[in-house]
Structure 1
Amino acid sequence: MKGVSCIITAAGKNRRMREDLQSKGMKIQHKLLFRINNDPILTCTVKKALQTNLKECIVVLGHFMNDLYLALAEINDKRLRTIENPDVDVELSQTLLNGVSNCKYEYCLCLAGDQPTITTKTMKNLINQLSKSSEPENTITILARGETGYLDSAKGLGMPFACHSSLLKHYLQGEEDNLNPILNRMVADGVSLYGVQGQNELELVNINRYDDYLKVLKMWQGKE
């Protein structure tokens, strides 16, 4: 592969985390600003992505963008670009489409901003497995949550994944949905889906709720 773009989605409403913080009487803030190892979650995710051989890293912002701009300001890397959703009230599919529509390279690695637990090695493995495919233009390599190798269903799967940008441009156009139903439609149409083994159980934890954040902190400390 001549070059790979990374797209990191960081445009969500932060609804579930806001609900949790409010119920606990805690200060309301975006989950991507909670810290892990002294870095905001978003910054941690971006730094790991930049440790790969990516040609560019695009962070797509929407809700709370002013706060998230501040978190990214400390990263000094020419490969990092930030773009904004024209309309902040969109689903993940449109945030991802905005990112892929602005990428400069044919292949892309797609991450969620709240995935600081994904290791750089797994990111590299997703890209490397895609490059080994006999049909990289019609293949998605994705972090497995169970079975690995070629899969016949995307059930329970989402980011991170890697694929040719044309696949996303085709399947995301006009969609207002989460990623999983779109992945399943792609598989039904004959797109190859390859599950890549993760490095540890921590990579499978999604930080949506405050308890998820506490769980990640506890598990992270156990691996240091």
Structure 2
Amino acid sequence: MVSAVITAAGLNRRMREDLLSKGMTIEHKLIMDLKGKPVIIRTIENVLESGVKNCVVVLGHYSEEINSVLKDFPDERVKIIYNHDLDCELSETLLNGVKNIEYGLCLCVAADQPTVTYNTMAKLIENAINYENPENIVSILARKETGFLESAEGLGMPFVCHSKLLLNYLPEHKDNLNPILREMISNDVVFYGTPAINELELVNINRYNDYLYIKNKF
């Protein structure tokens, strides 16, 4: 059984900065339009198509704004939860999500990754399931090297690993994910990198130019 956690609790800081500098209306990146649907809906749909049983979306900052496009999402597999403390790090948001899923493999995705295809997510899941010890592997979207990796430098979501790993490592940190992934690999957790299908899969929507690039290529 595979669950998913989608993190959607950030400050939207860089997008706000860009929109302000351009004199544009301030809008949260996750509800910006991407070919007729909000960014976060595109991400959720891809996650659900990847083969997961259920999905937890973790909200924090701007939760009312984001939830306005989620409240009528027509799929009972999606559960919305909220961070108790708004000013927390990504690792804490992810941990909140992991505590609300069933024990087992977990697909971890950032809500601003709408271009990661369900095929790639399914491949991440498949690589974790098929490994000899699914409790000791992080199956991750490769940024450079692929296959079995010797370094976690520069890596982040999306990835698949067992909730046991996340529950062991995340409570000890209040940080971004990369330092935690580096600690995992230094402790002999196996990392396997799956190549992206195309360059769009490697782009997170952080800045307005990221959004325009994805919107034009999507």
Query: If the length of structure 1 is used for normalisation, what is the TM-score?
Result: 0.95
Question: How big is the shift at 1:48?
Answer: 1.1
Residues 175-186 of structure 1 aligned to structure 2 (within 5 Å): 175-186=173-184
| Counterpart among 205, 209, 212 of residue 210 in structure 2 | 212
Q: Are 1:174 and 2:172 an aligned pair?
A: yes
Partner of 1:122: 120
Q: Tell me the equivalent position of 1:6.
A: 4
Q: Which residue of 1 aligns with 2:199?
A: 201
Query: Deviation digits for residues 168-206 of structure 1, max 9, x if unmatched?
Result: 111100311100111000000110000011111110111
Q: TM-score, structure 2 length as denominator?
A: 0.98
Counterparts of 1:214 and 1:184, CA distance in 2: 32
Quote the residue 1:17 is aligned against. 15
* CA distance in structure 1 between the aligned counterparts of 2:172 and 2:185, rounded to whole angstroms: 18
Instruction: Give 1:74 shift.
Output: 3.4
Instruction: Pick which of 177-186 and 47-56 moved more.
Output: 47-56
What are the superposed Cα offsets for residues 85-129 of structure 1, whole Å, 9 maximum, x if unpaired? 000110000000000011113110000000000000001000000
Give the total of aligned pairs: 218
Q: Secondary structure at the match of 2:172?
A: coil
Gap regions ≥5 residues in structure 2? none
Q: Secondary structure at the match of 2:58?
A: strand
Superposed CA offset, 1:30-81 (max 9, x none): 1101111111100110011111221110000000000111111232111000
Kindly provide the CA deviation profile for residues 9-41 of structure 1, in whole angstroms up to 9, marking residues without a partner as x. 000000111111111111111110111111110
Query: Does the alignment pair 1:61 with 2:59?
Result: yes
Question: Aligned to 1:168, what secondary structure does the other structure show?
Answer: helix
Number of the residue aligned with 2:42: 44
Alpha-carbon distance in 2 for matches of 1:90, 1:174: 14
Match of 2:138 in 1: 140
Q: Distance in 1 between matches of 2:145 and 2:6?
A: 25
Q: Which amino acid aligns with 2:3?
A: S
SS in 1 for 2:112: coil
Quick one: which amino acid aligns to residue 187 of structure 2? D
Alignment of 1:50-129 (within 5 A): 50-129=48-127
Tell me if structure 1 keeps the 8 A contact 2:128–2:137: yes
Report percent identity of matched pairs: 53
Q: Letter of the aligned partner of 2:94 in structure 1? A: L
Give runs of ≥4 in structure 1 deviating > 3 Å. none
Other-structure match for 1:155:
153
Q: What is the alpha-carbon distance in structure 2 between the residues aligned to residue 48 and residue 132 of structure 1? A: 21
Letter paired with 1:63:
H
Residue-by-residue CA offset, 1:125-180 (whole Å, 9 max, x unaligned): 00000011111100000000111100011111100000000101111003111001
